[in-house]
Structure 1
Amino acid sequence: MSETRQQDWDPRATSVLEDQIAAYDEMRSRCPVAFSDYLQWSLFRHADVMRVLEDHETFSSAASRHPSVPNAMDPPEHTRFRRLIEPYFGPEAMADFAPQCRAIAEGVIDRLPADGEIEAMAVMGQDFALEIQCAFMGWPTSLHEPLRAWVNRQQAATLAGDREVLGELALEFDGVIRELLASRREAGDAAPDDVTTRIMNETVEGRALSDAEIVSILRNWTVGELGTISASIGILMRYLAANPELQGRLRADPGLLPAAIDEILRLDAPLMSNRRITTCPVEIGGRRLEAGERLTLLWGSANRDEAVFGDPDEVHLDRDPEDNLLYGAGIHVCPGAPLARMELRHFMEALLDATIDIAPLPGQPVVRALYPAGGYSEVPLHVRR
């Protein structure tokens, strides 16, 4: 493990937290592999992040202090669980869920005022994320508000760095999932045929999944989805409000939305980072790391690397999608990417169909989210339908 080192930067400095994106842009040129007590080794460049993603033998995903299936697994264990999980996000599954996805998007958009002010993160982002995720999992609508309260408490505890409360919240969330599993077992053959029930009946290597494995899979899907989808909605709505020319172009040609969504989320990350741990001594970016050192891969920086994207703030709808690390890369690329892309496309299509204009609110600036969250905590906008 690393000895006491001098810090190259302070990720919790006020100047960094006020605008993470700008701070990461500066670090990418000044110190692209940087050490801090808070994040350990942070990687800012696209090439360095790609190297880590493609070399899972040197840079292990088993960096979590808690079981995480399959996020914190390496091959061959990771491979077995990915094989189990991927069909849930395959073309057939997405086609089946698409009508319900569109209906939920339209229902959330229908709540917009005819001509008035909204706060996009709470009114649009969080509502859509809660409703769409519960629908995909087959969970009752009665869970919407308890999950909203849980997400808010979890975000507050994360910002406060309160590990005790975070541990309690993790157990609380696991308890919610275990109650859902128990109710399905009690129902027997009458249990709903949904994603949650199907996961319960899966096997790996010829054995049934343990409850701990089922809970971990469902927790990863749900907690990750609630945060990133709501953040993505806020980022997308803010960007189109601030860029009326692109907003008009997408209204005229909705077929451009998939490329535009990925590109806007490239330059303003909804998910800021991921973790790895070294398995052996290695040199990266001119820095020497020993075995057992922790790394933070900063998507919010790598996806803005000038060496790959030129001016990172320019939106190009014809970029090579392989360069965009929005959903990661390599063997750990996000299995839920097809679902997230479909959800965001349906939401943005419904939003543009139902509105005439989305604009910033004069005198009411957006408020950036604080690490580890990406995007914004407040996005005040004016909409006309």
Structure 2
Amino acid sequence: MQKASTGPSGDRPSSSDLLCFSHLRWDFVTQRPQHLLSRFARERRVFYWEEPVYDTGEAWLDVSPRADGLTVVIPHLPWRDPEANDAAQRVLLDAFMDEQGIGAHVAWFYTPMALGFAGHLSPLATVYDCMDELSAFLYAPPELLEREAELLRRADLVFTGGPSLYEAKHGRHPSVHLFPSSIDTAHFGRARGLKDADPADQAGIAHPRIGFFGVLDERFDPELVRDIAAARPEWQLVLIGPVVKIDEDALPKAENIHYLGGKSYGELPEYLAGWDVAALFFAINESTRFISPTKTPEYLAAGRPVVSSPIVDVERTWARDAMVRIAADADAWVRAIESLLEMDGAEREAWLERVDRALARSSWDQTYHEMRALLDGAAEGREWDASADGVEQESGLAAAAGD
């Protein structure tokens, strides 16, 4: 059986495996976990444990190794009560760790709900990467806030995906670090140089095009889209992304509203290249109170002028120097879009210079390296005995926390 190698004392944090527990599907849309964990997978084994799929039969694991060095693990469980499901996942997790030879490891949480089956682990370090206020989302489990309080007690490090989340969490843990959404500038910057490369399902749509990509869920504002489309029937609204948790029949329908479905991360620059304005069609409600949309810098890197609903983190970070226009209602949206469509060449060049200066301060590589340094520091005080069947001997922060 293969065992995780600890290496020399100073190398332990980088050589330890990383177990990530997430509420997001790896193959759904590319978000923060994919950007960060694919980088961690270059130096260590990374196992991405998703939320269960419920079907008939016995509990089992769908284990899918990926070319990027990461392994996706999907539990399949019979539909039972949450307590029984946690018990079943704990059995699956323990057997999986034994089978994979996972000894020294980092536990990385995107969802506090995973504590129900992974709370017995004794990792070198525990990370809570808080990218959303999950309790504000539709169908959030009632015990989520209690589980989050427990995760905050156990965690060595807490990362937050935006300023609003940082402000909400920093008083609840002694080591909270702000890591806003970063940007793969080269990937989305390709859109600036693409000419006449419209994908087939977008090529027949007239201009001007106002585009949006992302998940269409409770954060999306269908009424806003309906009102803008009605106010300017000559504008074409292009919406890219899957529909989740909301009724697809409730989405606005009009000749100038185009739903193109989900697209891969690699395809997005080609679609962006054909838009005149990019949009953040977000509703203002509890589910958007703490969001810091990754698509904001992605739109900007593509060289697309952007209009957004008044999302707090967008206003704070990107509305400076008019890099993003903020509009509170449909009338304001129409005025903002009109002003961007009328920008002349000199105005656009000046805007792009401001955008590029801001984007140069952030990248996923930089975020990864800063997180890794913090993680290495948090794990330095831990000891692990590889001879005892991979049983970790705790010291330092873990023992003090009573994990």
In terms of fraction of residues, the more helix-rich structure is: 1
TM-score of the aligned structures, taking structure 1 as reference length: 0.25
Q: Which has the higher contact order (CA 8 A, sep 6+)?
A: 1
TM-score of the aligned structures, taking structure 2 as reference length: 0.24
Larger radius of gyration: 2
